Structure 1
């Protein structure tokens, strides 16, 4: 099943129904434009509120050359800043998380409070005219949506709440606000362009071909749709026992979840928020995944599972089996996107035709061509094209 809840009047565009050209998946200049036009204004998840419950707790996210931290202040409020000292530009904190009473730069010991205010400058008389009130940490736009903390570098475009508004009723029963991390964030480097990961995530056509496990679990119930800012995928588990033991025991052991409607008890639900943030929602857990661009041909997949408190043995077993099932799916997807990235370097390939059922990819390609019009060029332009525009 595939639906497109958008204005489908792009049929007058000769490129409607065609993929982005292969050169946009490895061109350095196109990548630099993507960082500024796609990622600087996009929302990125840093963590969940439950990951920073106490005063001074912080989590960080590095992407497109920026380091951002979110920290809980003494007043209980969460704030976001660039992880950059206002003196000489040094990074202030290291690692992905921690707890601090104050944020102290390791270079010259400038001291910032948890609300970002600059309060300590060693040998301050040697900085004549320094106004500390004007040199606090640089704030970053932040939004907390259902417990998840998002940031963006440029305050442009809709809020996360507005993006997800069409799906609020679907998400509400899962009690996102009460989730807690199961394990730690996993970082998985991949030698592919970030778009290849997203294209594959929202592609329903490859499920019956390349994911036999998902096909056994869902049969023909897997569906996809694209809305303005969000792709949605879904499937309902088959009652027929799978031949694979992990899948069969997951079907058998997954216990009823009292707070979920009956229709959600055996339902898997996926959302991809523009352009690279995904939530995989299961009855037993919620998996978060984000693919961050590193270079034109390398990316970093960042992922972690969140769960509600549930000590039932059946639930613990179901979560383990879910992990086993999806570990295999991830390995299958890694092989697929690697094959595609390698194939895109061939001089024989430029653009590929898209099925009417590839609604998410059609929407993504159209939006990328709107943002970066050079994506309409079938052949890679001469070096320096982005500077001559």
Structure 2
């Protein structure tokens, strides 16, 4: 099978083959990813506290669709396709707002926050119109870790298996992440990055640390073991927290102390960094005094929006404590990583990368990601026709 070929060792070497460059440049492959991955899996779209009161709504992009996420008066948070059921105009034409109802600006079809059609010109003269049937088309919603997660699939995959299962793989048990009390944390800083690179390059970068000694001087000062090239995400679900350096006081840009440890973390989580990839678009990073969460929103085969939140104890945010050194460390890591991805993207269309590249042994978990990606697309994906060694030699 193609998937097996993708993960076979390159003959005569310890290297593994990668997908071919087309996987990162072909708009048709990107469209398949949107349909088979992002539109069928759970996506983390926004913080729950961004919709603090009934009537508040935001629009978000999931795959090729635009979704309204709204806090209702009766049913908590709901989500709908941003499509009027009359003639298809966008119901919400800005990114956010607050209103008692959701009204299309074309013909004034009006919907309750709970989704039902409640008013329209001459609607009373059409008693046969089912107001639920012609209400906004709903999307599945879950809340977890203080975030809103949505799934566009008619029959969504198990949240426990596909989201909580990813956490179990990295933490050993879901309960371990509960020690950080993420639901109760507050956002101290949010930064949005517009990255000129394919979403898979960003995931691959996050999952490995073979590059850390080269481009992350601040990070390897705080976590010296990263300079050895092994990431905190390990093969086959090995549980590993990367330890701070002996003289490092906190996860900050200069190694100085942070803002005090979160109250419920376990002894084994003290002075350690853990990283989790929740496919297809979330990175969770935990350290003793704060949590960093990335959400990715692929825009095209060569552009990805990444939103990064730094979460702290409520009193840290409310008292205006200085978190600049904490934020600056991962902000620099983000900038360094995204620049590397942007410098990689153009080469994906080069003749020198037609047959793909290679993975070294410490990048074994990227192999697992490639296998997952190929399976999600049904195995019919571009893989090397010859070995990576042959591609490098040009034969």
TM-score scaled by length of structure 1: 0.84
**Cα gap change, 1:232 to 1:310, in 2 (>3 Å):** farther
Q: Secondary structure at the match of 1:310?
A: helix
Structure 2 unmatched runs, 5+? 11-15, 386-395
Following superposition, the deviation at residue 291 of structure 1 comes to: 1.9
Structure 1 unmatched runs, 5+? 1-8, 380-389
2:283 counterpart of 1:274? no
Q: Is the 8 A contact 2:57 2:71 kept in 1?
A: yes
- Paired with 2:148 and 2:6, the residues of 1 have a C-alpha distance of 40
2:188 counterpart of 1:179? no
- Paired with 2:319 and 2:214, the residues of 1 have a C-alpha distance of 31
**Cα gap change, 1:289 to 1:96, in 2 (>3 Å):** farther
- Which of residues 246, 249, 269 in structure 2 aligns to 1:239? 246
The aligned counterpart of 2:116 is 117
Q: Secondary structure at the match of 2:45?
A: strand
- Paired with 1:140 and 1:311, the residues of 2 have a C-alpha distance of 35
**Cα gap change, 1:114 to 1:246, in 2 (>3 Å):** closer
The aligned counterpart of 1:143 is 142
Following superposition, the deviation at residue 251 of structure 1 comes to: 2.8
Following superposition, the deviation at residue 141 of structure 1 comes to: 1.2
Q: Is the 8 A contact 2:79 2:138 kept in 1?
A: yes
The aligned counterpart of 2:341 is 337
Which deviations, in whole Å up to 9, do the C-alpha atoms of 1:281-331 show, x marking residues without a partner? Answer: 2333222212222111122112223322124999933x2101111222122
Following superposition, the deviation at residue 182 of structure 1 comes to: 2.7
Following superposition, the deviation at residue 181 of structure 1 comes to: 2.7
The aligned counterpart of 1:71 is 70
2:384 counterpart of 1:364? no
Q: Is the 8 A contact 1:84 1:92 kept in 2?
A: yes
Which deviations, in whole Å up to 9, do the C-alpha atoms of 1:126-148 show, x marking residues without a partner? Answer: 65742222111101011222332
- Paired with 2:307 and 2:71, the residues of 1 have a C-alpha distance of 22
- Cα RMSD (Å): 2.9
- 1:77-156 alignment, distance < 5 Å: 77-124=76-123, 129-154=128-153, 155-156=155-156
- Paired with 1:227 and 1:122, the residues of 2 have a C-alpha distance of 59
2:328 counterpart of 1:324? yes
Larger displacement relative to structure 2 (15-24 or 101-110) = 15-24
Q: Is the 8 A contact 2:167 2:276 kept in 1?
A: no
Q: Is the 8 A contact 1:93 1:103 kept in 2?
A: yes
Following superposition, the deviation at residue 227 of structure 1 comes to: 5.7
Following superposition, the deviation at residue 367 of structure 1 comes to: 1.6
Larger displacement relative to structure 2 (363-372 or 30-39) = 363-372
2:152 counterpart of 1:157? no
- Paired with 1:291 and 1:260, the residues of 2 have a C-alpha distance of 27
